Amino acid sequence: MTAKLLYQLDTDATPSVFDSVVAYDGGADHVIGHANITAGMVGPLVEGAIYTRGPKEKQYTALFIGGSNINSAEAVLQAVRAKFFGKFSVSVMLDANGCNTTAAAAVALLGKSRPLAGATATVLAGTGPVGSRAAAMLALEGAHVTITGRSLDKTQAAAASITKRFGVEIKAVAAPDAESRHAAVQGAQFIVSAGAAGHELVGASAWQENAATLCVADLNPEPPHGLGGLGAADKAKDYQGKLAFGALGIGGLKLKLHRACIARLFTAHDQILDADAILAIAKDMA
Ligand SMILES: NC(=O)c1ccc[n+]([C@@H]2O[C@H](COP(=O)([O-])OP(=O)(O)OC[C@H]3O[C@@H](n4cnc5c(N)ncnc54)[C@H](OP(=O)(O)O)[C@@H]3O)[C@@H](O)[C@H]2O)c1
């Protein structure tokens, strides 16, 4: 039996422990971590992956791109793809900081609960890896998406980078405090809170007393959670007609999805599992 090898190409100073555990749980026999990866370094790593196994065994070598900076991870993915030609390729998954699997799990659960096409959605702290992917996926599903962040420049840059990568329009709103974030979610049918762990972004009234709101998701697993008044384990919990998903309620699907994507890498030598592909898998699993 040919060993399933997963090479972690992580842009951070140490390869993510979370990603390596899930890689083993997803079926890799060996996980080999490389840290501080930049786009300029991938040449020899990709050559080692694509030239070593014959056509029938190539599917058992795969690459995983991680790290906390989504733009660096995307640059690494582009550099990896540029090295592929003809049948000389291996499957690749990009999930920097869990951005794709976490956002896809949340968006798939929200979309299963209420229709996203044509709806209004606000992603609080949509400037980070997970929030920016959630915004992109909501827009790909047909929602009109606004992201917030504490500084206008950073938020506009994040929106522009989503538009450049996915061809969708995203509105950027500066919301530096709870009051401005409260205002930013008024009129939003879907609210996704994607702020750093352990920070409340808005209080309960922002969504519970918001006539427009249909569904909310909070990705922050550590108390205080991003949306006040919501439970981490909520999974389509009904708050007087508004359905809520907490970080743990989403985390179960996120982990299953992440493992399923790893398993899928080893089924062919030419798959690219980035936002679109991972969202499609999440929608099948939700
Ligand atoms: N449930 C799951 O399965 C799962 C999996 C992965 C990640 N997560 C969680 O998902 C969330 C987003 O992950 P991420 O990696 O994208 O997060 P991140 O990069 O650490 O932070 C996201 C954004 O939060 C904002 N922020 C940081 N500190 C803040 C503060 N003190 N007050 C208000 N806003 C602040 C920043 O936006 P601005 O600077 O633009 O304001 C930042 O871009 C995190 O809570 C993470 O723990 C959950």
| Token duo for residue 105 | 């799990």
Which mutation among 11, 153, 155, 219 tests ligand 1's pocket best, with the greatest number of atoms within 8 A of CB? Answer: 219
Q: Is the pTM value of this prediction over 0.85?
A: yes
Q: Ligand 1: which of 68, 127, 202 to mutate, most ligand atoms within 8 Å of CB?
A: 127
Please give the distance, rounded to the nearest whole angstrom, from the Cα atom of residue 221 to the centre of ligand 1. 10
Task: Write down the pLDDT at residue 1.
Answer: 87
Compute CA distances 117 → 138, 143, 165, 215, 286, whole Å: 9, 5, 20, 14, 17
Residue 126 Cβ < 6 Å to ligand 1: no
Express each pLDDT in 55-95 by its tens digit: 999 999 999 999 999 999 999 999 999 999 999 999 999 99
CA distance linking residue 169 with residue 145, whole number of Å: 8
Q: Does residue 135 contact residue 147 with C-beta atoms inside 8 Å?
A: yes
Mind listing the pLDDT tens digit for each residue in 246-276? 999 999 999 999 999 999 999 999 999 999 9
**What separation in Å is there between the alpha carbon of 127 and the centre of ligand 1?**
8
**From the alpha carbon of 68, which atom of ligand 1 is closest?**
15
